Structure 1
């Protein structure tokens, strides 16, 4: 089953992914992401927030530090284990739950804000998830998605050639891949079975949010200069990270 395969893969990546998040917490990326989150969330405090696919807890910790009431969910128990440890180290109070993005056991219209980073590309049923988010958000609530066309090259040979080119350039400058060949092979095999691998985003998401009833959708096609370091900007030049803010 695809969902179990995804869970197994990311449970196996929990330790290394947590190490990455710990590095982000002590560099300029922390301030960059805080600034971006505040830009979209506004200056209001005491928001009720859901972090979807929290992984090792980076967004959840940032949001809790912004005086928000944070619930964070993930399907992977090993990721949640890392997230809980990271939250304790950061001195933050966060509610962590093991849950699917399309079926969250929270009341209707109970959230001010839903956020996710590098998660939506992994959804086997993204439209169902966006519909669930619409259900969970208050009438003035917002959904924030930060993601990229990570695997669009699997169906676009020209894009894949560009990705390979910039990977080589990054490696010439000292970049080292943080996954094994076996992990990269499995990640690609999973991506081939996921619907958003074959969609041009954020165009797809903009239409999907509107179809789910969101009244306003703001898109920023390239936020990489704000949140990626120089090496990452080179590596991901063909697939920059985008931001979507969908208001209910």
Structure 2
């Protein structure tokens, strides 16, 4: 099953990805990410937040620094172990839950905020996931999604051409690839089995969230300049990172 392949892939990437997250913790970009969360969600210890697909816990730590109460969710047991270590090292307590994004063992209307970064594209059931997140949110609660059309180029020859071109430029600018060629091939094979590889986003997300009754949907289409260094800005020219924030209706 594709779900098992995804879980295995991220288990194997957990330690390397954790090292990458530690580098981000020591980067000036950390404050950029934190400011973006704060911009849409505010700050304070009354906010109950959930970091879904948390990986090694970068966003969980950022939300801890904003005084949120944080629940960290991931399908990978190894990623959760890394997140727990990272949170404890940063001086924060948290609640850690292993589970699929579309099926989280948590009560209805129990969180104020659900945040995810580079997660929704990996989902086998993205519509069910957004429905599940709506169930978990209190009235007036928000989802905050950071993502991109990561593998749309696999089904679009023009995008593939652009991606290859900018990748060459990025390597010339000094890009150091953190992923091996074998890992690139494996994740591309996984991506071919995922529904959002073939959908233009965030337009798809906006349509689905509107149908589910979310309101005040705010989108920023391209935040690359804020979150990436020069080489990665080049690399991701054709696949910019977007922000999507949506509120659950009060009723």
Per the shorter chain, which TM-score range? over 0.9
- Give CA deviations for 1:47-72 in whole Å, capped at 9, x if unaligned: 00010000000000110111100001
The CA distance in 1 between the partners of 2:133 and 2:175, in whole Å, is 37
Structure 2: runs of 5+ lacking an equivalent: none
Q: Note if contact 1:108-1:137 (Cα within 8 Å) is conserved in structure 2.
A: yes
Cα deviations across residues 98-139 of structure 1 (Å, max 9, x unaligned)?
111111111111110000000000000000000001111011
CA distance in 1, matches of 2:211, 2:115: 19
Q: Deviations over 1:67-107 (max 9, x none)?
A: 10000100001111111111111011111111111111111
Q: Is contact 1:210–1:216 with CA below 8 Å preserved after alignment? A: no
The gaps in structure 1 that reach 5 residues or longer are none
SS across alignment from 1:243: strand
The answer as to whether partners of 2:108 and 2:135 remain within 8 angstroms in 1 is yes
Question: SS at 2:201's partner residue?
Answer: coil
The runs of 4+ residues in structure 1 deviating greater than 6 Å are none
Which segment drifts farther, 210-219 or 134-143?
A: 210-219
Which residue pairs with 1:68 in the alignment? 68
What is the CA distance between 1:224 and its match in structure 2?
1.2
Aligned pairs, number: 248
Offset at residue 46 of structure 1 (A): 2.0
What's 1:151 paired with? 151
Q: Give the superposed CA RMSD.
A: 0.9
Question: Structure 1 length normalisation: TM-score?
Answer: 0.98
Contact 2:171/2:231 (<8 A) preserved = no
> Aligned pair 1:19/2:4, yes or no?
no
Report the equivalent of 1:184: 184
Whether the aligned pair in 2 keeps the contact of 1:47 and 1:68 (CA below 8 Å) is yes
Q: How does 1:24-103 map to 2 (within 5 A)?
A: 24-103=24-103
Spell out, residue by residue over 1:137-194, the C-alpha distance to the aligned partner (whole angstroms, 9 max, x if none): 0111000000001100011100010000010001112212111121111100000000
